[in-house]
Amino acid sequence: MSSEAILKFPPGFLWGTATSPTQVEGHIENEWTHFTAPDGGHCRIACDHYHRYPEDVDWMAQLGLNAYRFGLEWSRLQTAPFAPLNPAELARYVDLLDRLQAKGITPMVVLHHFSNPPWITAAGGWTNPATIPAFVDFVRQLVAALKDRVYLWNTFNEPDTYACVAYLLGGFPPQRKWKLGQFRKVISHMARAHVQASRIIRREGVVAGRKPEVGIAKNWTFFHAYHRFSPWDRLTALACHYTFNKFVLDAFLGGGRGRASTFIGLNYYGRVRFHHFRAMIPASGTPVKTLKDFGFVCDDMVERYPEGFGKILPYLHRKFHLPVYLTEHGAASNDEAFRERDLRGNLAALHRAMQAGVAVRGFFYWSLLDNFEWQFGYTKKFGLLAVDFSDPALPRSRKPLAGVYAEIARANGLRL
Ligand code: FCB
């Protein structure tokens, strides 16, 4: 019977959600603390996950999820380069890890997600090569402290997005524009830090024969021209592809550097098409409705392009021969029926790519909670759970998509 048809995922597949410290924790001292988005939103309280993580872990368990990808905030854990880790803050993360373990939820920890301690920012952030040994020291101490509880390590989240939006587009602190030299420096310093940190994780993070896994999370966006024959739009798309996809992948995984990682984390949302040099996406200011008239299907951020899974996954597989985790995928919209269609379409495409031979080990929905979406403040609703930001108690509630995702995770498959 067709109602029984199900696209099964491999046994042990991870079904999780993802968050990042600045977007959910609140009470944070990094370069985002005094940043205010155009909607007036800031990260100073966010979802107060800092205090409410026990409740959030309970939500994950209720949804039947078996994985959680979250960040360890550097600015909480060290007050100066090479300083010992702050014991109280470390204990809080240990408690989070223990609660996850008690519920059978596998943690994947992220070591850098768009934020730095103030003393790193003051010294030039990742444009300064001195940030590399400081970060590597932070990682070495974390591995010693957490290796019993963590085996999935994600060093850098979307270095391409970070370097682009902070140094080319001016959207993230330090809000520089068109500093291509700084963009390149940030990428190559992060890539060196990734290789060094990965070696430490793999050497020092082994516990009772269990080998740690390590990788970056690369944001992959397809850049295309709206009119196939428009040379300028094609050139723009090609320049973006080279700068944000090719250059970044080569920096982290090219040559011998590929041997440092054991997996590739892929953050995949969709594509950007260019029309008269303009990026035709809601995130660049073109309304979803206008884009619909052009025949584009978009969430509140980018164009949806599920068939992209069938291109990017085989490409990564051919090039690097590493297993993949879908470290982020999700849609921002207030239209839950759209989000459900979108999730089903994307998972079906992911499943097809896996059938064709690409090893994918897990999928992390972005995001557990509606949260502080960087330069967009609180206007983009990615959560499986809604947060009522008008109520100081910040109550969470389940959105329809949470039920859909829970059913997929429980079945370890997508019912057709
Ligand atoms: C990714 C980021 C994540 C969030 C989602 C929507 O680029 O890693 O923090 O902003 O997009």
pLDDT digit string (tens) for 226-256? 999 999 999 999 999 999 999 999 999 999 9
**Among 90, 41, 96, 107, which residue's Cα sits nearest to residue 378?**
41
Give 69's strand partners.
18, 108
Q: Where are the alpha helices (DSSP H) in 258-412?
A: 288-293, 309-320, 336-355, 400-411
Q: Do residues 184 and 242 make contact, with C-beta atoms less than 8 angstroms apart?
A: no
Angle (deg, nearest 10), helices 49-62 and 87-102: 10
Q: Of the listed 158, 303, 328, 373, which one is catalytic?
A: 158
Write out the H or E segment, with its range, that includes residue 220: strand 213-225
> Which residues sit with their C-beta closer than 6 Å to ligand 1?
20, 23, 157-158, 161, 219, 267, 328, 366, 373-374, 382
Angle (deg, nearest 10), helices 87-102 and 131-146: 50
Q: What mean pLDDT is predicted for residues 171-195?
A: 98
Helix then strand count (H, E) for the chain reads 14, 13
C-alpha separations of 167 from 32, 73, 218, 396 in Å = 15, 22, 18, 35
CATH number assigned to the domain comprising residue 224: 3.20.20.80
Q: How many CB atoms lie within 10 A of CB 254?
A: 15
Residue 138 confidence (pLDDT)? 99
Say if strands 264-275 and 278-279 run parallel, antiparallel, or are unpaired: antiparallel
Give 67's strand partners.
16, 106
Q: Is 25 a catalytic residue?
A: no
Supply the residue whose CA is at minimum distance from atom 10 of ligand 1: 373
Distance CA 366, CA 300 (A): 14
Sign of CA dihedral 34, 37, 42, 46: negative
- 323-358 confidence digits (pLDDT tens): 999 999 999 999 999 999 999 999 999 999 999 999
- pLDDT bin (cut points 50, 70, 90) of residue 148 is very high
Report whether pLDDT(149) > 50: yes
Q: How many CB atoms lie within 10 A of CB 215?
A: 28
Domain count, the chain: 1
Sign of CA dihedral 378, 29, 88, 216: positive
State the closest ligand 1 atom to the C-alpha of 301, by its place in the atom list counted from 1: 6
Q: What mean pLDDT is predicted for residues 368-374?
A: 98
Residue 105 confidence (pLDDT)? 98
Report whether pLDDT(393) > 80: yes
C-alpha separations of 226 from 169, 200, 297, 310 in Å = 22, 45, 13, 20
- Take residue 303 and report the two structure tokens written for it: 């164009």
| SS3 category, 271 | strand
Ligand 1 centroid from CA 207, angstroms: 31
- pLDDT bin (cut points 50, 70, 90) of residue 3 is low
Q: What mean pLDDT is predicted for residues 107-131?
A: 98
List Cβ neighbours of 215 (8 Å cut-off, separation of 6 or more): 153, 154, 155, 198, 261, 262, 263, 264, 265, 322, 325
Residue 4 confidence (pLDDT)? 75
Ligand 1 centroid from CA 235, angstroms: 26
- 49-77 confidence digits (pLDDT tens): 999 999 999 999 999 999 999 999 999 99
Chain Cα centroid distance, residue 198: 18
The DSSP secondary-structure symbol of 324 reads E
Residue 1 confidence (pLDDT)? 42
**Among 274, 304, 306, 275, which residue's Cα sits nearest to residue 288?**
304
Ligand 1 centroid from CA 412, angstroms: 25
Distance CA 274, CA 49 (A): 38
Distance CA 212, CA 84 (A): 23
Does this model's pTM top 0.95? My answer is: yes
Q: What is the DSSP string of 198-216?
A: HHHHHHH--BTTBPPEEEE
Ligand 1 centroid from CA 70, angstroms: 12
Cis-peptide into 3, omega within 30 deg: no
Supply the residue whose CA is at minimum distance from atom 9 of ligand 1: 20
State the closest ligand 1 atom to the C-alpha of 269, by its place in the atom list counted from 1: 11
Distance CA 360, CA 327 (A): 10
Supply the residue whose CA is at minimum distance from atom 4 of ligand 1: 373
State the closest ligand 1 atom to the C-alpha of 114, by its place in the atom list counted from 1: 9
Report whether pLDDT(2) > 60: no
Ligand 1 centroid from CA 366, angstroms: 8
Ligand 1 binding pocket mutation candidate from 108, 112, 161 (most atoms within 8 A of CB)? 161
- φ/ψ of 360, rounded to 5, equals -115, 130
Q: Do residues 381 and 300 make contact, with C-beta atoms less than 8 angstroms apart?
A: yes
**First-to-last CA distance in the chain?**
11
Q: What range does the domain containing 405 cover?
A: 2-415
Residue 339 confidence (pLDDT)? 98
